[in-house]
Amino acid sequence: MLSTLIASAAIWTASWYGPGYHGKITANGEVFNQWGSTAAHKTLPFGTRVKVCNRDLCETVRINDRGPFIYGRDIDLSQGTAERIGIINQGVAPVTYTIIN
């Protein structure tokens, strides 16, 4: 089944999390895998898929947790996703995103 575009690309401030949360229960009841392709967002429904890009490195993540709870941050990516899109050393970085269904 093809994904349906429901928002055009825009910019968010992304951070990442992993150590200390790996193996713990996320807000939707799943066990968090810091190497998975998941993310936390304050309001998007659980299961929403979001294509997140840092320059030409992109990954589609699934929302399965709530956060980030630090002012000015829009999405918390899993550590694995942050590594794969090249923001792991920055910690916090602007990313483009597209919400897909």
Which structural domains are found in the chain, ordered by start?
10-100 (2.40.40.10)
Least confident among 2-11, 37-46, 71-80: 2-11
Rg (CA), the chain: 12
* Predicted local confidence at residue 72, as pLDDT: 96
For residue 6, pLDDT over 90 is answered with no
For residue 10, pLDDT over 60 is answered with yes
- Please say whether the beta carbons of 17 and 28 come within 8 A: no
Beta partners for residue 96, in sequence order: 11, 53
Q: Average pLDDT for residues 16-45, to the nearest whole number?
A: 97
Q: At residue 70, what is the residue type?
A: I
* Predicted local confidence at residue 9, as pLDDT: 74
Reported as a pLDDT band with limits 50, 70 and 90, residue 2 is: very low
> Among residues 22, 20, 61, which one has the least CA distance to residue 41?
61
* Predicted local confidence at residue 1, as pLDDT: 36
* Predicted local confidence at residue 101, as pLDDT: 81
